[in-house]
A and B are shown apart, each in its own frame.
Chain A
Amino acid sequence: MSTMLLDRRGQSTPVQWWDLFRMELTNWRWSWRSSVLQGTITPLFSLLALGFFARDSGREALLYVVTGNIVVSLLFGAMTSVESRVSWLRFQGGLDYIATLPVRHSAFVLAMVAAFLLLSLPSVIVTATVGPLLLGAPVHIHPLILLVIPACTAPLAGVGAALGMTGRTQQQSGNLRFLLTLVMTALGPVIVPPDKLPGFMMFLGHFSPATYAASALRQVMVGPVTARLALDMLVLCAVTAVSMAWVGWRMGRREE
C-alpha cells in the first residue's frame, strides 16, 4: 500500500480546537441579532419592569432582579444561540461536514461552547452594567466574577447543545429550549427571592443550573462570597462536563 495513503494524520487536539474555535466564532455573522434582541433587550426590559416594581420590596428583591436578569441574558443568549446552532447543524447537514473531518468531537463541542461564551459576553456586560445603573442597585464586584461568568455561561451553553441534539425536528428543539428557558427562570431563587417562592418551586430549583448560576453571580456582584460559591461552581462545572460529554458522544454515534 502506498505510504502516501497510510501516513496521513490530522492536527493535534489543541490545534484542532483553535481552528474549530475560530470557525465557530464566524457565527457572530448571524448570532449578533439574537444576542442583541434576546440576550440584551429582553433581560433589560425584564430588569427595568421588575426592578422598578421590586424597589418597593426592598434592597434584596432589587438585587435578585439585577443578578437574575443576567442569568436570563445567558439563558436567552448563550443557551438559545447554541441550541439554534446545533439544531441547524443537525438538520441542515452541517454535522456531516464536521463528522467527516479528522477532528475529535470533544474538541468541536468545546470550541463551540467557548465561541458562544465569547459571543454572549457583550450582552452579559451590558445587562450587568446598565441594569444596576438605571435602577440604582448597589453592586460590589468581586474579582472572582472573571471565573464566575464563564462558569455560568458554559453549562447553559452545554444544555443548549444537548437540546439541539435532542429534538426530532429543528422546531421541536426550539420549542423545548423555549420551555426550558421559562422553567429555569421561574424555578428556584433566580429573579425572585427565596422567601417569596413556594416550597415546591424552591425544591425543584435545586435541579436547575440557573439556580446555581444566579447564586454564584449574587455572591460576586453583591456579596458576601461564601463557601456556597464553591458548591455553585462545582454544580455548574458538573453540568458543563455532563452536557458536553453527552453531546460529544451523541455526535460520534452513527445514524441507525
Chain B
Amino acid sequence: MDVVYAIENLTKFYPKQTSPANKDISFEIRQGEIFGFLGDNGAGKTTLVRQMVNLLRPTSGCISLLGQPVAGNPQHVANHVGYMPQIAHALNNMAVGEALYFTAHLRGMSRADARRERDTLLELWRMGPLRDKYSTRLSGGERRLLRLAVAMAGQMPVLILDEPTNELAPQRRRLVWDVLSRINRERGTTILFITHDAIEAEKVIQRVGIMRDGELVAVGRPGDLKQHIDQKLRLELFFAPDAPPQLPAGLAPHELQPGHWIALIERREASALLERLDLERLDDFRLYSPTLEDLYVHYAA
C-alpha cells in the first residue's frame, strides 16, 4: 500500500514554552485508510495535524506528503488535502452553495463540474435547504457540516478532519461516519481525523494513533492494540456528581464526565472488585469487554 503521509521524528515547541507540544513523533498514513487520532485535550493532536497541512512550522523533523516534503511547498498540500479545522467558524460571508462551488472550482474542477459537485455535496450532507443561507447565519452543527463538505469539495484524495462530530446531534454524527465510510469505500479517499467520540468512531476506524502529553504512545489496528488489554474488562460507574462513591483500593477510574467514571480492571479480579463496590452511592454500573474507548483510556489516561 502506498504511503500518503510520512512523519519522521517530528518535534514542536511553541515559543516561550519549555515542554514540547509534539515530541519525536514518527508514523505513516497509507493510501485509502481511515486513521483516527485519540487523546485528551492538550495531548498535541491539533498541533500535529496543523503541521501536516502546513499551517504550523515544526521545530524539527520532517513531514512528507506523497513523497514530497510539505515544508516550503504549500501548493502541494493544498492540491491534495482537504482540511477541516477544529473550530467551525463562518466561511467568509458566503452562502452555503457559494462556499462549496468556489472551493470545488479553486481545487481544479471545471465550472460545470464544480456546480455538480456543489449539488452532490448538498445532497450528501442533507443541506439542500441551506443552499442559499449565509454561513454566518448557520447553527454550530450546520457550520460543522458545511466545513466537512467544504473539506471534501473537489473530491480531495486526502482528508484531515479535526473533530468532525463535535457539537453534532446523534443523528448527524451517524451521518458523518456513514459519509466518511462511504467515500473511503467508493473513492479510496484517505481519511485522517481527530475525535473524542471513540465508541462511534470504532465503526469506521481502520488504524488508530493514541496521543498523550505530546507523544504518540500507540499506533496500530484497534484489534491488534486490544490484544494488549484483552485480559481486562471495562467497568463504568454512574452516580450523582456531588456524591461520588468510595472506591476499592487499586481502582483508578478516568472521568468521562461528572458522575460517569470508567476504569479497566483485570478479568480475574472482577468478581472480588464488584463485591467491594459502594453500591449505595451508585445509580448504575456496567461491565463490558474492551472497546476503542478503553484503548484510549488505557494508553492516554
Seen from chain A, the residues whose Cβ lies within 8 Å of a Cβ on chain B are: 1-2, 4-6, 8-11, 16, 19-20, 22-24, 26-27, 29-30, 92-94, 96-97, 99-103, 252, 254-256
Contacts and interface: CB of A to CB of B under 8 A. Distances in A.
B299 interface: no
Interface in B48-85: 50, 53-57, 66-67, 74-75, 77-83, 85
Contact of A93 (B31, B77, B80, B87): B87
B83 A96 contact: yes
13 contacts: A1-B2, A5-B157, A8-B79, A11-B105, A19-B105, A24-B92, A26-B92, A27-B92, A30-B93, A94-B89, A100-B53, A254-B55, A256-B57
B87 to A, nearest CB: 5
A105 to B, nearest CB: 9
A99 B78 CA distance: 8
Contacts of B14: 256
Contacts of A92: 89-90
B107 interface: yes
Nearest to B71: A254
B250 interface: no
Given A23-B94, A97-B150, 16 more contacts: A1-B66, A5-B31, A6-B66, A8-B79, A10-B79, A19-B106, A20-B106, A26-B94, A26-B95, A29-B136, A92-B90, A97-B91, A101-B107, A102-B108, A254-B57, A255-B56
B12 to A, nearest CB: 10
Interface of B: 2, 4, 14-15, 31, 50, 53-57, 66-67, 74-75, 77-83, 85, 87, 89-95, 98, 102-103, 105-108, 134, 136, 150, 157
Contacts of A96: 55, 83, 85
A253 B246 CA distance: 53
A1 B3 CA distance: 8
Contacts of B94: 23, 26
Contacts of A100: 53-55, 77-78, 81-83
A254 B103 CA distance: 22
Nearest to B4: A5
Contacts of B77: 100
Nearest to A1: B2
Given A96-B85, A100-B81, A256 B106 contact: no
Contacts of A24: 92
B78 A101 contact: yes
Nearest to B101: A19
Contacts of B136: 29-30
A19 B106 CA distance: 7
A5 B81 contact: no
Nearest to A6: B66
B91 A256 contact: no
Contact of B108 (A9, A27, A252, A255): A9
Given A8-B80, A93-B89, A99 B55 contact: yes
For the complex of A and B, list the 7 residue pairs with the smallest distance between their C-beta atoms, beginning with the closest: A102-B78, A254-B57, A93-B89, A8-B79, A100-B83, A29-B93, A92-B89
A94 B92 contact: yes
A94 to B, nearest CB: 6
A112 B71 CA distance: 26
A120 to B, nearest CB: 17
B57 A99 contact: no
A102 B92 contact: no
Contacts of A30: 93, 136
Contacts of A255: 50, 55-57
A23 B108 CA distance: 16
Nearest to B65: A5
B159 to A, nearest CB: 11
Contacts of B83: 96, 100
**Could you say which of B14, B15, B93, B102 has the most chain A C-beta atoms within 10 Å of its C-beta?**
B93
Contacts of A8: 79-80, 107-108, 157
Contacts of A2: 2, 31
A10 B154 CA distance: 10
A254 B72 CA distance: 10
A6 B97 CA distance: 28
A19 B66 CA distance: 28
A23 B53 contact: no
Given A93-B87, A254-B57, A102 B93 contact: no
A256 B15 contact: yes
Nearest to A91: B89
B79 A19 contact: no
A23 B136 CA distance: 14
A11 B81 contact: no
A26 B92 CA distance: 8
Contact of B93 (A1, A27, A256): A27
A93 B55 CA distance: 11
B230 to A, nearest CB: 37
Contacts of A94: 89, 91-92
